[in-house]
Amino acid sequence: MAEKKVTDHFVEVRPGGYAMPSGATQVQRRAAGQIRAAAEAGDIRLFGDTVSAHEPIATQSLKPAHQLNDPDTRVYLSDCRDVLAALPDKGQVDLIFADPPFNWDVPYDEWRDGMPRAEYERFTFDWLDGCINALSPRGSLWVNIPDDTAAEIVMHLKRRGLTMINWCIWHFRFGQHRHTSFIMSKVHALYFAKDPVNRIWNPDAVLEQSDRAAIYNDPRTQAKDENKGMRVPMDVWYGKYWGRIQGNNKERRALHHNQIPEVYLERVIRACSNEGDLVLDPFLGSGTTCTVARALNRRSIGIEFGKGNAASAFERINAGPVHLIGDEKTSSAIFEDRRAKPPRKRKSKAPGPA
């Protein structure tokens, strides 16, 4: 008799493979408190701690450089560490999306993108702390960051008591060729929350077609009571409109570097905020976050150091986005539809040798 696979008793307690057990959130919440306590006791030190913290410039009355109403949209022109310290909306921001300079010597308008490493880490901790103070109790913080600083950001947010919800990857396929190592084709999209249980979270607003539906036509996915054939996206993001913004991409804004695709912000904003909520981007760049937030009827604040960048971002916010997915039933499947197709007519065989 064939041996019966013993899997049943694992189903409840441990789904197996790489699925996260349901108790993991509790474990992470407990760990968040312990890591925070260890940091407060001085037991967790990072390189950037060797540099003293930024002293915010005392800003009496913070005035936006650009502003729109309905929904309230503000662009502040300054160092985000100073603006965050003086922000009237402290503790009320529902969602923060941050795509900082990576310290890669990129010519960003007026910002000098090449600090000694310890200073860059200190800069990073300072703006992260400003964001944490701005965040509402149910708010989320997303950080877009490449390999070389992801670990430090994760450690800093953990030692501040935030919980990681997802470590997503934005995957793109036009990395620059190099022979010395594998080609860079991703950036990390780190998703943290103050309160993992009560955070603002709208999975139904970002559903996409499942592979079961798109490729295999699996009847089980149509048997569900709701959202038939749909699922919450995976944590690796790619697909239509998800490529790097370069060349003749219609979203591309002249003179901006490292512009992020609109669909990336669309997913984050729909999933982690509601209409009327307040969204903030401390490194506005070409304005992607506020442009998408406004189109989705969210209030928003953008902070930008460069005057030219801020003006260009505001122009884009007024113009609106180019590529929102909306309710399009997209699929990120990487295989072709394998549904049974009508059999192809076979060519009649040429008569063989007699």
Ligand X SMILES: C[S@@+](CC[C@H](N)C(=O)[O-])C[C@H]1O[C@@H](n2cnc3c(N)ncnc32)[C@H](O)[C@@H]1O
Q: How far apart are CA 224 and CA 103, in angstroms?
A: 48
With binding defined as CB under 6 A, does residue 309 bind ligand X? yes
Among the listed residues 142, 170, 242, 283, the single contact to ligand X using CB under 6 A: 283
Q: With respect to ligand X, which residue has the nearer C-beta, 210 or 283?
A: 283
CA atoms within 13 A on the CB side of 85: 15
- Quick note: the x/- pattern for ligand X over 243-282, rule CB under 6 A, is -------------x-xxx---------------------x
Helix-strand-coil percent breakdown of the chain, rounded to 5?
Answer: 30, 15, 50
By the rule CB under 6 A, 221 interacts with ligand X = no
Tell whether residue 129 is a contact of ligand X (CB under 6 A): no
CB of 241 to ligand X, least distance (A): 14
Residue carrying the six token digits 């008799």: 1
* 304 scored as a contact of ligand X (CB under 6 A): yes
CB of 265 to ligand X, least distance (A): 8
CB of 71 to ligand X, least distance (A): 20
- 198 or 246: CB nearest ligand X: 246
Query: Count of residues binding ligand X (CB under 6 A)?
Result: 21
Q: List, as one string, the DSSP characters of 50-109.
A: GSPPP-----SS---SEEETTTTEEEEES-HHHHHHH-TTTT-EEEEEE----SS---BT
Q: Using the rule CB under 6 A, is 321 a contact of ligand X? A: no
Smallest gap from Cβ 190 to ligand X, in A, equals 14
**Which residues between 61 and 120 bind ligand X (CB under 6 A)?**
79-80, 99, 101, 108-109, 111
Give min distance, CB of 23 to ligand X, in A.
Answer: 36
Query: Of 129 and 304, which has the nearer Cβ to ligand X?
Result: 304
Rounded to 5 degrees, φ, ψ at 49 are -70, -15
Q: Long-range contacts of range 314-317, CB-CB < 8 Å, 24 or more positions apart?
A: 314/65, 314/66, 314/75, 314/287, 316/253, 316/286, 316/287, 316/291, 317/66, 317/68, 317/73, 317/75, 317/287, 317/290, 317/291
C-alpha torsion sign, points 168, 170, 173, 179:
negative
Torsion angle in degrees (nearest 10) through CA of 155, 156, 157, 162: 80
Least distance between ligand X and beta carbon 15 (Å): 36
User: What values do phi and psi take at 339, rounded to 5?
Assistant: -60, 150
Q: Taking the complex as a whole, how short is the minimal distance between the CB of residue 306 and ligand X, in angstroms?
A: 4
Q: Which span (40-48, 154-162, 235-243, 284-292) binds ligand X, by CB under 6 A?
A: 284-292
Site residues, ligand X (CB under 6 A): 79-80, 99, 101, 108-109, 111, 256, 258-260, 282-283, 285-286, 288, 303-306, 309
